[in-house]
Structure 1
Amino acid sequence: MRPKSDDVRKAILAAATELFTRDGYAATTMSRIARTGGMSTSNLYVYYPSKLAIMLEIYEPWLKEQVSALEARVAAEEGAEAKLRCLVRGILEDIPADPDGYTRALVQAVSVTGPPDGYTSDLLRWAEGRILEILNQVGDFGRAGVSPEAISYMLMLIFDGVGLRRDLPPRPELSARLHEAMVSLLLARVRAPAEPA
């Protein structure tokens, strides 16, 4: 078995990124990735067992960087309301609005794959865990009788929906109302420890 080439791997990822960005995940095939990357489909399979594996290699570091940056932005805000506004805006607007269409491609990928394709929920669980950490910085939701895990899960479900609708005509008036509703709902259930009752 000959060693795998970093140059070939980079060519695969560049080709896949181009196709996912332009055409979306569903319309991109392994043979198109191979052709765009200048190789045979059989050679592509030597490097990646599936289109999903390629997508995750591209998307995972990007999502982790986005969520880490959001965590830093939330930490820099003062008070529960400002922190929640920053979190909600990041999850429902900033990250899904990426110009390269990574969010759309990943949501498409997850919607058409499952365990037989090698899909695991590791990245989703990681994101939910980081959002949970952010929520715990905002205040004590548990004290208010609300599961912060459920809130994290709900935010990721909404994130998925926003990602799927990315190519539809925007409805900014409803997006703004959704953000306000989410912040109001969360604020009604928690007070940051440093804020007076």
Structure 2
Amino acid sequence: MAQVKKKEKRNAILKSASRLFRENGFLGCRMEAIASDAGTAVANLYVYFPSKLHLFYDVWTPLIEARMLKLAEDARQIDDSRQRLRFIFLSLWRDMPREDNQFAKNLMEAIITAPDSVEKPHDILKWCEDFLNELIGECLPADRKFLVADSKLSFLSWMAFDGFVVNVGKRESSKRNIELLINHFADLLLYGEYRGLTAVADSNS
């Protein structure tokens, strides 16, 4: 019986934290406010979560897992390799940063501002990198799969994601053509050079 109550309390904390992180951002969300909203004491929060960073990760993890699984499901419906790659990177660099849940920006705030003494839960980030690496690898011809051999490409892609989180949306410049950028990137991955309209013609032939 005690275990059931413990699970319910943890879920209540996660529910309150999810809403308050969404409304106030990571920096603007205080543990006292989460505790009050969840109907518990601040000290109890630290029984379940070692830090606000860990609490945020527990909120964010199922969201990003579900989003990546949906990305993979949709991408695998696209037969053409170039179009599938374009879809993957448009989702990662344009659509996900634009989505109105604030968790991408919150994640950046959480990692940047966490004290050095707080151990950062990196497992989900590594999972995202590995998942993306596999998804990209499925698009590449055999002679280009060396690009995903060490996961550095997916690491670079997620680092770029952070930059797009900052620049996409209200700050997005009309001078930046993200689709053209992704066309270049997809061609470099597939062919080692930018083919532009030629690649489109080839994919449609």
* TM-score, scaled to structure 1: 0.83
* CA separation of 1:113 and 1:179: change in aligned 2, threshold 3 A: farther
Structure 1 Cα separation of the partners of residues 80 and 22 of structure 2: 37
Contact 1:84 1:183 in 2 (8 A): no
* TM-score, scaled to structure 2: 0.80
Q: Measure how far apart 1:147 and its partner are.
A: 5.1
- Calculate the aligned-residue CA RMSD, in Å: 2.4
Query: Could you tell me the percent identity over the aligned residues?
Result: 21
Structure 2 Cα separation of the partners of residues 155 and 188 of structure 1: 14
- Counterpart code for 1:155: S
Aligned: 1:185 with 2:189: no
Contact 2:57 2:121 in 1 (8 A): no
Q: Measure how far apart 1:81 and its partner are.
A: 1.7
Q: Measure how far apart 1:79 and its partner are.
A: 1.2
Contact 2:54 2:121 in 1 (8 A): no
Aligned counterpart, 1:31: 32
1:86-101 aligned within 5 A: 86-101=87-102
Runs of 4+ that moved beyond 6 A? none
Structure 1 Cα separation of the partners of residues 34 and 183 of structure 2: 42
Aligned counterpart, 1:161: 163
1:33-182 aligned within 5 A: 33-113=34-114, 116-140=117-141, 143=144, 146=147, 149-165=151-167, 169-171=170-172, 173-174=174-175, 177-182=177-182
* CA separation of 1:42 and 1:114: change in aligned 2, threshold 3 A: closer
Q: Which sections of structure 2, spanning at least 5 residues, go unmatched?
A: 192-202
- Counterpart code for 1:57: D
Q: Measure how far apart 1:165 and its partner are.
A: 4.4
* CA separation of 1:141 and 1:135: change in aligned 2, threshold 3 A: farther
Q: Measure how far apart 1:66 and its partner are.
A: 0.6
Q: Secondary structure at the match of 1:93?
A: helix
Aligned counterpart, 1:21: 22
Contact 1:141 1:190 in 2 (8 A): no
Q: Which sections of structure 1, spanning at least 5 residues, go unmatched?
A: none
Structure 2 Cα separation of the partners of residues 98 and 115 of structure 1: 30
* CA separation of 1:39 and 1:60: change in aligned 2, threshold 3 A: same
Aligned residues: 189
- Counterpart code for 2:163: G
* CA separation of 1:33 and 1:103: change in aligned 2, threshold 3 A: same
Q: Measure how far apart 1:146 and its partner are.
A: 4.2
Structure 1 Cα separation of the partners of residues 142 and 134 of structure 2: 12
Structure 2 Cα separation of the partners of residues 182 and 66 of structure 1: 20
